[in-house]
Chain A
Amino acid sequence: MVGPNGSGKSTLLKIISGCIEGYLGSSFVDGVNIVENHKRCVRKIGALIENPHLYSYVNSYDMLQLAYKLRNGRNGNEDEIDNSLNQVGLMSKKDIQIRDLSSGEKKRLSIGLALVGSPDIIILDEPTNNMDAEGVSMFQRLINQLRDDGNRLIIITSHELDIIGKICDRLIFLINGQIRRDFIINKEGYFLILQTDRSANSVALRTFKTELLAEGKIAVLIENEDELNDLFRTISERGIKIKSIEKMTQAEFEYKKAFNQ
């Protein structure tokens, strides 16, 4: 889910994860109302909501152990907790107090807390905020691995369209609590935004999947290398003058369109 600040992303996640009450409508997990059957439903959910500061004076191991106990109703053995630490790359920081972790490491631990006990539904609210490049790359690997592991629903909110575009299958744009766009992402494809000298050029490129954005500004969907070569050949053959060219993922392109940017 993507949307500007205040669009209702976190609130929606809080509702879905059974974190808050007193709203209109209902949230169901496998057909069960989360408000009426909270414990049963949230057992299937692992959530990272907002940006929790966590408890400064305990270590990552203690924090994960508590989450494991509460979710599974029993103590986790050392291997199970170590596995969670490994998942988020914090094994070497196992015994360090949380206040001594960097903000990116705290974020990783928060993600680890959501993953403890392998829940069927994972809800992550802006998981890559405060993360360095290494953290983001670890996160992408982790999400791809979780998706490949089994039949799991992962809901993520983020502002970082480039990351979202790479790891998500479906994208929802939210604004003022309303869904603006909801579509399946074509991960293989990308858009080339061409600024040409004439709008009529879009007719010349009609053999491609194009969209006229503004006077002379054309978006072309490229899904493979052949299409790219064909595009440049056509541009050359028709003598179309290109003033600028910009590459965009589908997520970025749709976002700009949805929010008139």
Chain B
Amino acid sequence: MIWNSKSMAVFFLKNYRKSSAFKYIIILFFLLGLLMSVLSIFFLNSIVSEFVPSSIKIIHYPKQILEDIYNFAWASIAIYLPVLAVAFFASTSISSDLESKNIYQFMTMPISKEEYLFSKILSSFVASIISVLVFIAMQFITYLLIFRSFPPLAFLNYVTVMILIIFTDTIAAMVFSSIIKKGDYGPLGFILFFLLITNVISLLISSMSGLNDSFIITNAQRLAYLVFLNVEPYFMVYTGSLSSISFNSELLLIYIQIAYTVAFLFILYSVFMRRGEVR
């Protein structure tokens, strides 16, 4: 199974790599990174000063505060990139094969439906990671330039969390891709899902139960944001602070993210395996 899936995933990745969509998304993320680098190198002190009362005159900001604000700024942009990347790659991966009839090329080969699905997940996931890593690499390089040292270990933690988010988003986007027959509707459907439907659902939950809506769906999606924004998620409530997020809170958020991944994976598998027009 692994050999077939790997062969197909490498092939799909090759197709992505040479596609216009991949080039555009890499350029877009690079330009975003460049903009953030310029902001960070030339305006970091000005941004930090916004957090300090005007009555206090500070000549030299402590490195820790500068680092916190730096991470805060980059993470607040980075959190939206996985959604954008998977909208390009994962949300069209199955639907475009159905639309272009390419899926029949694979269904008449000695491969299982699971192998095909796994290769699609793998290729979309890797393509999304590569594009998001362009931005994260620029964040890393800019950090080196500004602080003349390597980022703290939390940076590695942040990258890991981003990869987890990309994986969840990939699976969620592929659910759309397996439901929608027209390839073009996949990205639109997925972005609408994240921008509108998740908010509507959380608002509904909030109004029905009186709970803080942010906990249910948005918390899990904003995992990286929370890790680097140092926002402590107490039960149902956010509390902002400049101190680092606790290990337990981070673990809780990772659990929620994994739960989403498993749920989406189950839906994706059930939907795709039941498609009548392909074996």
Contact = CB atoms under 8 A, between A and B. Distances in A.
A21 B102 contact: no
B100 to A, nearest CB: 4
A62 B110 CA distance: 18
- Nearest 8 Cβ contacts at the A-B interface: A57-B18, A53-B100, A47-B108, A49-B104, A50-B101, A39-B110, A70-B109, A19-B107
B206 interface: no
Given A22-B276, A62-B14, A97-B18, A53 B101 contact: yes
Interface in A31-54: 38-40, 42-43, 45-47, 49-54
Interface of B: 3-4, 7-8, 11-12, 14-19, 100-102, 104-112, 276-279
B258 to A, nearest CB: 32
B14 A18 contact: no
Contacts, number: 90
Given A49-B101, A52-B105, A58 B14 contact: yes
Given A43-B110, A49-B108, A67-B109, A55 B15 contact: yes
A218 interface: no
B144 to A, nearest CB: 34
Given A45-B108, A55-B15, A20 B101 contact: no
Contacts of A38: 110, 112, 279
Contacts of B3: 73
Contact of A71 (B109, B278, B279): B109
A113 B105 CA distance: 8
Interface in A88-143: 97, 110, 113, 123
A252 B16 CA distance: 46
Interface string A132-161: 000000000000000000000000000000
Given A43-B110, A58-B11, A58-B14, A20 B279 contact: yes
A22 to B, nearest CB: 5
Contacts of A57: 14-19
A53 B96 CA distance: 10
Interface of A: 14, 17-22, 38-40, 42-43, 45-47, 49-58, 62, 66-67, 69-71, 73, 97, 110, 113, 123
B279 A18 contact: yes
Nearest to A98: B15
A231 B14 CA distance: 64
A71 B8 CA distance: 12
7 contacts: A20-B276, A47-B104, A49-B101, A53-B100, A55-B102, A62-B14, A66-B7
Contacts of A43: 110
Contacts of B15: 55-58
B3 to A, nearest CB: 8
A4 B244 CA distance: 70
A66 B102 contact: no
A20 B207 CA distance: 45
Contact of A18 (B8, B12, B108): B108
B183 to A, nearest CB: 11
B279 A69 contact: no
A20 B110 contact: no
B104 A71 contact: no
A42 B14 contact: no
> A43, A56, A58: which has the most chain B beta carbons within 10 Å?
A58
B103 to A, nearest CB: 8
Nearest to B274: A22
A71 B111 CA distance: 8
A70 B7 contact: yes
Contacts of A97: 18
A19 B102 contact: no
Contacts of A62: 11, 14
Contacts of B4: 69-70
A47 B109 CA distance: 8
A53 B108 contact: no
A71 B14 contact: no
Given A20-B277, A58-B14, A42 B101 contact: no
